Chains A and B, each alone.
Chain A
């Protein structure tokens, strides 16, 4: 009866069923995400070398004792860059998700609760926002605010907002008709109190699942932006920027400094997707009962 449907891009939807059905993959991905977060928190202490300082005597080195995963053409230690790069690579999407979820919850709750023409207008505006590819919006922001993390994060927060807003709007409209909400109103509670303090917490888990999926996509988009040279600027380590800088090395037959951050991006995005979708599926099962 309840329709807890997450907005998904088709990218990883196909992978579901079969081997994804096992709870183990969910656990593995969860552990992986926790590991990445721990690395991000303690990166400066974990990294064996300073990734911003290049060792020009030892460029494009292979894996070895001195450099665990070799160096790029600037002599930066790939392993250290990977570890420290975790910070910016996760911080960007975190900001995107935080802003987009907060705004999406606000807009969705207001729209779904009010209903009527207000809801119709907001719905149309969200549809228009949906039409803009997030990456395009981010590039526009770069053109306006200059390179760096700030502009793209803001732009992407706006681009991701409709995903959460639409979900929250639908759930709120559905939840609002439930007798427990009517009961709160009949008791004399203020509508704002009922909507924010009583109705919203019941949507929490579903919104969390959507935000988790969004996180993975935001990371992918921001990495792409950095790869294009529009996002995080060197020497600040970042996975997308690392792949960009490794282009010369790839051409010279030393792909490791590009492959390592690329694998990290893929792992994190897949892990976030799996965790988010499984959370969504678990909620759907709970609703069905």
Chain B
């Protein structure tokens, strides 16, 4: 079976800083991969390269075995790229156009992707919104009249309207309140099960990645340090950095002092790189 997404040796630099270096993974149909890391780990840059918002310096991205056109000059190439990978952004307050209602935003996406019949579009919009748990009222509302969770669900519906093979979520739940975050997480797991869409889930939160994904790829300063099934990774982290991340999650009986000491030890043992040495 062809992998949905085949990424090899991605590299991206900005001037002297290397944002991403040597990221490779493949996503099977219906698979979900977590890209885990802290700020400066290159996880967002990787996500933006997957959807074509940034162009990699080197490395390849194949969707369903084909490399999307490098330049997006023509309409066909643009639409094909959009069908391949869609993205949901971190901040639901900024990622929707404030002048358009949720319904007309979705309608515009459907029209762009070749649905010319008004009635078909209207019923598809209802269907998409129902899929993320939104109704007529939300369809008619401007984004500013919706709560953060509703906006993020609208943004997910917008991405699904394109019927992409892969959905990239860039910290898509981290700006939401806990009680609302759970609603969106359930929407995501449902979509994955029902639509068979592949997910690339970018997050710093291991517990959330565990809930949504099968595998995790841990990034440190743009380089992959560990890539395994998430259950194995959490049971027995192989890299000291992964262990540090795991230990850092607060829980009862949690001892921040030990973690702080471990962090220094990681540094002293020379296993951490410059990122760890910064603090």
Contact = CB atoms under 8 A, between A and B. Distances in A.
Q: Do chains A and B touch in the complex (CB under 8 A)?
A: yes
Contacts of B96: 180, 183
B75 A190 contact: yes
Contacts of B95: 179-180, 182-183
A183 B89 contact: yes
Given A187-B158, A187-B162, A201-B99, A179 B82 contact: no
Contacts of B91: 179
Interface in B118-141: none
B9 interface: no
Contacts of A114: none
Interface string A110-151: 000000000000000000000000000000000000000000
Nearest to A191: B72
A204 B230 CA distance: 48
A188 B53 CA distance: 11
A241 B94 CA distance: 52
A180 B82 contact: no
A190 B81 CA distance: 12
Contacts of A8: none
Interface string A162-181: 00000000000000001110
Contact of A188 (B48, B78, B98, B158): B78
B99 A202 contact: yes
Nearest to B87: A186
Given A179-B91, A182-B53, A187 B97 contact: no
Nearest to A199: B97
A174 to B, nearest CB: 12
A186 B82 contact: yes
Contacts of A198: 97
Nearest to A178: B94
A203 B205 CA distance: 36
Interface string B85-119: 11101110011111100000000010011000000
A189 interface: yes
B79 interface: yes
A187 B112 contact: yes
Nearest to B170: A179
B158 A202 contact: no
Given A179-B91, A182-B53, A188 B113 contact: yes
B97 A190 contact: no
Interface in B193-208: none
A131 to B, nearest CB: 33
B94 A186 contact: no
A150 to B, nearest CB: 38
Contacts of B169: none
A180 B87 contact: no
Given A180-B94, A202-B98, A202-B99, A186 B112 contact: no
A185 interface: yes
A180 B95 CA distance: 4
B32 to A, nearest CB: 19
B98 to A, nearest CB: 7
A185 to B, nearest CB: 7
Contacts of B162: 187-188
B79 A186 contact: no
Nearest to B53: A182
A178 B93 CA distance: 10
A42 B268 CA distance: 85
Given A182-B53, A198-B97, A187 B82 contact: yes
Contacts of B83: 188
Nearest to B96: A180
B184 interface: no
A188 B68 CA distance: 13
A188 B81 CA distance: 7
A186 B53 contact: yes
A183 B143 CA distance: 15
A247 B172 CA distance: 71
A186 B86 contact: yes
B155 interface: yes
B146 to A, nearest CB: 14
Nearest to B80: A188
A201 B162 CA distance: 24
30 contacts: A179-B89, A179-B90, A179-B94, A180-B94, A180-B98, A182-B48, A182-B53, A182-B87, A182-B95, A183-B89, A183-B95, A185-B53, A186-B51, A186-B52, A186-B85, A186-B87, A187-B86, A188-B79, A188-B81, A188-B82, A188-B83, A188-B112, A188-B162, A189-B78, A190-B75, A190-B78, A201-B99, A202-B97, A202-B98, A202-B99
Interface of B: 48, 51-53, 75, 78-79, 81-83, 85-87, 89-91, 94-99, 109, 112-113, 155, 158, 162
Given A179-B89, A183-B96, A189-B112, 7 more contacts: A179-B91, A180-B95, A182-B89, A186-B52, A186-B87, A187-B86, A202-B97
